[in-house]
Amino acid sequence: MSDRPSRAWAPCAALLATLLLALAACGPGRNQFAPPCPGQAILGDAADFDVYRTQGSRDLTDLVLHARIVNIQGSCREGDKKTQLAVTANIGVELSRGPAMAGRNIEVPVFIAVADGETILDKRTYAMQIAFPPNVDRITVTPGDVNLVLPVASGKSGAAYTIIAGFQTTPGR
């Protein structure tokens, strides 16, 4: 019996080598990595939102809704230009109906902003339309993606920015 592989395996070995080369071509090029993404922060003072039936009340029997932001998720990729980073972000919001909520629908104002240090570069405010299903008093929702384009350069990557989320408790920016 010979220690050399059978010639019958030669076509299989060639096919395997071809498949491995094809799979290697599917990924990023050599030494290419995903671009650095911005950090994420849930704004502490704006992370919780309570609505009461009577303004100024803190009585549990007057609670219409309690909401809190529980996470920020997102992804980033190179933008259309070499000096841009395309960011897609969304937030997770947990909502609880209070005993004073009439009906099952409510509007909740949220925002997603991007900051460069202490400077807000862009802020998107929108009203989430919430509908509680019958016999459900607590839900977690993701209101949808927000697309942002951030400027980047060789000395400033996406990691220099922070995506901030919170509830918009006052009108305006």
Q: How do residues 33-91 score in pLDDT, each as one tens digit? A: 668 899 999 988 899 999 999 888 888 999 999 999 999 998 999 888 989 999 999 99
pLDDT for residue 130: 95
Cα separation of 167 and 101, whole Å? 19
SS3 95: strand
pLDDT for residue 22: 45
Per the prediction, the chain carries an average pLDDT of 83
CA–CA–CA angle 106, 107, 112 (5° rounding): 145
pLDDT for residue 49: 94
pLDDT for residue 35: 80
Average pLDDT value for residue range 140-159: 90
pLDDT for residue 164: 94
Residue 67 and residue 108 in contact, taking contact as beta carbons nearer than 8 Å: yes
Banded pLDDT at 8 (limits 50, 70, 90): low
Cα separation of 85 and 157, whole Å? 8
In the chain, % of residues over pLDDT 70: 79
Between 136 and 36, residue with greater pLDDT:
136
pLDDT for residue 108: 95
The set of residues, in sequence order, having a beta carbon less than 8 Å from that of 70 and lying 6+ positions away, is 92, 93, 94, 140
**Verdict on whether the full-model pTM lies above 0.85:** no
User: pLDDT tens for residues 77-103?
Assistant: 988 898 999 999 999 999 999 999 999
Banded pLDDT at 11 (limits 50, 70, 90): low
> Which CATH fold would you assign to the domain 31-167?
Immunoglobulin-like (2.60.40)
